[in-house]
Structure 1
């Protein structure tokens, strides 16, 4: 009498590189741009050389272009990978969550209250992307396309970066009153009113009532 074997077949090795498609490499370019912006902001803090800050600002629109391009390339080539959605979210957290916060810190928003607001902003960005990944299926129409965003998309944080670039061009950056919008001293704590734009942006990202059509 023969007995059936219930052993599972050995798990095949998951080859990450061979799984990648062209759109995934574009997504990585988005993440590289955001990471480069963070490192350039750090170099500005270390050296005080303003051109590093401008390099960081310049990398942010590049990240946005690559973020738009990856989905279009995937649809154009009719090819996507199992990693695509996760890669996109992780790259967006770096480029449109952490990088804008790092730039705000670099230009002078370094008070204790500033940092709390910036951390809140990053947490909102992470939460917003996680919610989108979980709810994308129920928000999509019959073709699988998502009809609208709940809350503002995280790339809208580039508007904050544009404000920082204008402040830099005006010479209104620094950790004190010279910052655009000045500085509030609340007892031993410091707050730059400009950082409140980050609080508004983060709150808009996690809003349940805001519905932004996706084109």
Structure 2
């Protein structure tokens, strides 16, 4: 009767194995997430310091994140490394840079009334929902092609326009002091700044199913 030598146990998984599996485009995507996080921190810094420069730096993180967001897709196609992981990573980074960061910037800018906060939360939730829908439908919409032919609803990076508007107001006024453009309304005991309605419009356009925008 022969005796089989037991096979040695498999080697333990290497540390940081997930990072080793990242493609170059994935690291570019992390640059997007880093810019969004920096934007949130700078918005908080502005609330403490009141320095216009802190606010403008916070706003500047949006176009920088947009550049990383544009670049990661180009890098992925150049290296032919499109992946489901990359798509998920891209969406998670976009939530921070083009959802949470613009909302934090708006809050820092003075849109802090009760209704303002409701609108900003709605805006972020619309962005999250839009990205989730895109990830679920991207495969069927692409029909086997390398990328989808169109967006359903406006892409979340369009919120960079909102941060540009806030930055322009801050720059023109030399700071963000009350009253903000459009003033403030009192509704049912809560404050609403009409300026925040651009976030309501942006969020609503993101989740539209009838609005189709060709992807260039």
Q: Same fold (TM over 0.5)?
A: yes
Any runs of at least 4 consecutive aligned residues in structure 1 with deviations exceeding 6 A, and if so which? Answer: none
Matching residue of 1:213: 214
- Paired with 1:126 and 1:188, the residues of 2 have a C-alpha distance of 29
- Paired with 2:181 and 2:13, the residues of 1 have a C-alpha distance of 54
Q: Is the 8 A contact 1:21 1:81 kept in 2?
A: no
- Paired with 2:84 and 2:167, the residues of 1 have a C-alpha distance of 37
Q: Mind listing any 5+ residue stretches in structure 1 that lack a counterpart?
A: 1-9
Q: Mind listing any 5+ residue stretches in structure 2 that lack a counterpart?
A: 1-9
- Paired with 1:144 and 1:23, the residues of 2 have a C-alpha distance of 15
Matching residue of 1:87: 89
2:186 equivalent to 1:185: yes
Matching residue of 2:159: 157
Decide which moves more: 74-83 or 109-118: 74-83
Matches within 5 A, 1:130-145: 130-145=132-147
CA drift of 1:83 comes to: 2.3
With normalisation by structure 1, the TM-score equals 0.90
Matching residue of 1:67: 69
Matches within 5 A, 1:28-177: 28-171=30-173, 173-174=176-177, 176=178
Aligned residues: 205
Matches within 5 A, 1:195-210: 195-210=196-211
Q: Is the 8 A contact 1:141 1:147 kept in 2?
A: no
- Paired with 1:35 and 1:204, the residues of 2 have a C-alpha distance of 24
Q: Is the 8 A contact 1:137 1:144 kept in 2?
A: no
- Deviation readout 1:85-115 (Å, 9 max, x if unpaired): 1110000000000011000000000000000
Instruction: Determine helix, strand or coil for the equivalent of 2:213.
Output: strand
With normalisation by structure 2, the TM-score equals 0.90
Superposition RMSD on alpha carbons, in Å? 1.9
Matching residue of 2:19: 17
- Paired with 2:83 and 2:155, the residues of 1 have a C-alpha distance of 23
- Deviation readout 1:94-147 (Å, 9 max, x if unpaired): 000001100000000000000000000000000000000000111113423201
- Paired with 2:83 and 2:34, the residues of 1 have a C-alpha distance of 19
Q: Is the 8 A contact 1:173 1:180 kept in 2?
A: no
- Paired with 2:188 and 2:77, the residues of 1 have a C-alpha distance of 55
- Paired with 2:204 and 2:23, the residues of 1 have a C-alpha distance of 34
- Paired with 2:83 and 2:210, the residues of 1 have a C-alpha distance of 32
CA drift of 1:162 comes to: 1.0
